[in-house]
Structure 1
């Protein structure tokens, strides 16, 4: 009996697909292609604020342009690049899993990689028992919402004001930013409660129709941490009323805040469901995971007839699972979480020391490498009038005025935490160290010096933003 030889792979020379040649030929059209075929407002926005860079390659916490200039990444792709770009261990795992030619996604077998990754993930949450793998953070949230509503038999989900849990219809229902929700109703039955307000939570629970509260232990929009004692007290209230606690750790999980999960900073907090995604694959492959208690999964998947009652076509695919296993291995072997605690404290403390120096620097907060820098109304008359002009045009413009020179003058990529907020959020790759802290603090100090001088690039750009904001009204 003979075994069939695998089919030979096409090459560029015999008419096969050549990605390198395609990029060399058409790569310079990137902004035009996006404007024509994708979201046309994105290139327009990037051109307006001067973010229309062309990055040629990336490694670790840095990008490089065609001229060889390096750019420090303090954004990590909105948190997905937890280990920086192109980590060699994760890259090798992906090459290995492709070379293995696994019988992936047959849908009628049980491959080993999903079980192995679930086992490794659950080791960091010993009170949880099972995992569902999807493809993104919003899918992880959708899974948690579905499971909570099913097992409790209740329709309503509570969330915290200013929360962000995703943009698909279910997760949009628990999104605390009206700008994202406008025009997409009707959504799921939901109610917002203030983060930290136990009385408001108790009032809603007394109505008897609440399935769960979903909460970010540290909110991504504005970088607001749940007050000390809130999570354990909320958990006790929820369980007393037969409702569930869902922890959204999509951005805060996997070491971001200096513990594996952010909820672990509070003693005794054991969420019924935990959502993770973003950094789980090292930024290579879309992946999401919902971790939960055994009884929840057994009630959802209560019989063989319900085996596919919740599933995802690409969920548990071999590439995502291999990447996840590699990421967890790197985190353990390179002691990533301990490094985050040390580097995060160094960065936060050095920035906090600047508050007394700059009157427009109001607060520095956060945990680990999730830091919010908030700006506020200055006291001096000259700066106060300029601040008032910006606020009248659009709240959040000053933070944008800081972000732009950080990139254009100092080659550091950051983001404004949310629309209409005077907050910059720092979520760099978890591998950054003292060198990157020095570079960022030095650049930030230079930009703040410029802003407080009342002139220079910061205020020149502010005039451009004001005109743009007024034109868009």
Structure 2
């Protein structure tokens, strides 16, 4: 049921065209024209301002881990707001402490500590500062990497179109081919502060490295006294069927950054440090006004509780495997395969037409994403059902048949 808003908040019920026109006059043109104006979500579905319904297979860019308006999250956040909303980090709150303890318990490692942020890029900024506290400055990142848009996170992000117009960025960053353990070993030396890796490159089209790559990175960094920093902002909190994607290789990093799915739509991120890395930031070194406030923290705690309570890690793996197999079984000439893990998948295309397919899917009532010209990304909520998945698979061939191949 749609909640009624107080009239004092202004006209929020206009048509999509009218709201889009207002958007262009009031918001900076950072993202280009919005594809739709969305007004409501429930479970794995969304509705736009004109009443059209969509199956959400993007999950707010891997954020809406529990879908939309999940009753447990709504209840937890509402209850917290009526009790204590914000206090600043001069003070602690019980939800903040409980969430930190819960996150650390999900990683089998000694001596862990957490710094809470408002987003993924801020979590990476915190990790970047931690690497500087080692007394070294050299960081090794990878070709195709995406770690955020702030200046520090951008320095370790690969895409030249994102980087070049904001140069000079924080320096001493080396990029090596992703998934190439030999190249990584050649780049890391005793002056290296950290190696930063995504366990799966999401923004680069869901690129999965070879088995053993993260194990090699753990060995290489340990041999040179460098930190291993794993960016789990898109892959973490159950997205791949494990709590954290790096756990599939049986390693423990020094730094782990998370965000996106942790808050299920409430802005929150975290930088987790283990061993010596957990002690490098000391009073005065870093800070945040909103990070880890009671509302964001209770949201994160509620998300982890529901994932455990409802067995959603198993659902992520089962539905992800089913979806990948069903898409490949279509045997369409535009489909070159499916890659990824759990509910972070890419449909590899045989032609650079992902923009056309994403637009056609939207028209047909499916929200998907085209991160690169020849791949489509799927990052749906963990509550996605087999029937939901099958409805997309059934519609996909007709969408592909409408594509104009160059």
TM over 0.5: yes
Query: SS of the counterpart of 1:165?
Result: coil
Q: Does the Cα contact within 8 Å between 1:31 and 1:43 map onto a contact in 2? A: no
Cα distance change on mapping 1:340 and 1:412 into 2, 3 Å: same
* Match status 1:40 vs 2:23: no
User: How far did 1:403 drift?
Assistant: 1.2
**Alignment partners' CA distance in 2, 1:341 and 1:165:** 25
- Of 15, 19, 22, the residue aligned with 1:30 is 19
Partner of 2:294: 318
Question: Which deviations, in whole Å up to 9, do the C-alpha atoms of 1:105-143 show, x marking residues without a partner?
Answer: 244332222111000111111215100001100011111
Question: Which deviations, in whole Å up to 9, do the C-alpha atoms of 1:346-402 show, x marking residues without a partner?
Answer: 001111223xx322221211110011111125xxxxxxxxxxxxxxxxxx4x11111
User: How far did 1:25 drift?
Assistant: 7.0
Q: Does the Cα contact within 8 Å between 1:251 and 1:277 map onto a contact in 2? A: yes
* Match status 1:184 vs 2:166: yes
* Match status 1:334 vs 2:310: yes
What residue ranges of structure 1 are gaps of 5+ in the alignment? Answer: 1-10, 302-306, 378-395, 451-456, 467-473
User: Structure 2 length normalisation: TM-score?
Assistant: 0.93
Partner of 1:293: 274
Question: Which deviations, in whole Å up to 9, do the C-alpha atoms of 1:205-262 show, x marking residues without a partner?
Answer: 13x3211111110110211112101111111011101101111100000111111111
Partner of 2:396: 444
**Alignment partners' CA distance in 1, 2:173 and 2:39:** 44
- Of 74, 95, 102, the residue aligned with 1:91 is 74
What residue ranges of structure 2 are gaps of 5+ in the alignment? Answer: none
* Match status 1:273 vs 2:273: no
Partner of 1:215: 197
Q: Which structure is richer in relative contact order (CA contacts within 8 A, separation 6 or more)?
A: 2
User: Structure 1 length normalisation: TM-score?
Assistant: 0.80
* Match status 1:368 vs 2:342: yes
User: How far did 1:67 drift?
Assistant: 5.5
User: How far did 1:56 drift?
Assistant: 3.0
* Match status 1:423 vs 2:372: no
Give the structure with the larger helix fraction: 1
- Of 299, 314, 319, the residue aligned with 1:343 is 319
Number of equivalences: 399
Query: SS of the counterpart of 2:169?
Result: coil
- Of 342, 358, 367, the residue aligned with 1:413 is 367
**Alignment partners' CA distance in 2, 1:66 and 1:235:** 49
**Alignment partners' CA distance in 1, 2:114 and 2:71:** 27
Query: SS of the counterpart of 2:165?
Result: coil
Q: Does the Cα contact within 8 Å between 1:369 and 1:426 map onto a contact in 2? A: yes
Query: SS of the counterpart of 2:376?
Result: strand
Query: SS of the counterpart of 1:329?
Result: helix
* Match status 1:170 vs 2:159: no
**Alignment partners' CA distance in 1, 2:132 and 2:272:** 16
**Alignment partners' CA distance in 2, 1:256 and 1:370:** 6
**Alignment partners' CA distance in 1, 2:62 and 2:141:** 22
Cα distance change on mapping 1:77 and 1:241 into 2, 3 Å: same
- Of 164, 180, 184, the residue aligned with 1:197 is 180
* Match status 1:401 vs 2:383: no
**Alignment partners' CA distance in 2, 1:37 and 1:226:** 42
**Alignment partners' CA distance in 1, 2:88 and 2:132:** 30
**Alignment partners' CA distance in 1, 2:147 and 2:31:** 22
**Alignment partners' CA distance in 2, 1:98 and 1:191:** 44
* Match status 1:70 vs 2:53: yes
Cα distance change on mapping 1:352 and 1:39 into 2, 3 Å: same
Query: SS of the counterpart of 1:274?
Result: strand
Query: SS of the counterpart of 2:66?
Result: coil
**Alignment partners' CA distance in 1, 2:289 and 2:90:** 12
Cα distance change on mapping 1:312 and 1:27 into 2, 3 Å: farther
Q: Does the Cα contact within 8 Å between 2:13 and 2:49 map onto a contact in 1? A: no
Query: SS of the counterpart of 1:366?
Result: strand
**Alignment partners' CA distance in 1, 2:232 and 2:240:** 10
User: How far did 1:27 drift?
Assistant: 8.2
Query: SS of the counterpart of 1:132?
Result: strand
Q: Does the Cα contact within 8 Å between 1:35 and 1:42 map onto a contact in 2? A: no
- Of 112, 119, 138, the residue aligned with 1:156 is 138
Aligned-residue RMSD, C-alpha: 2.0
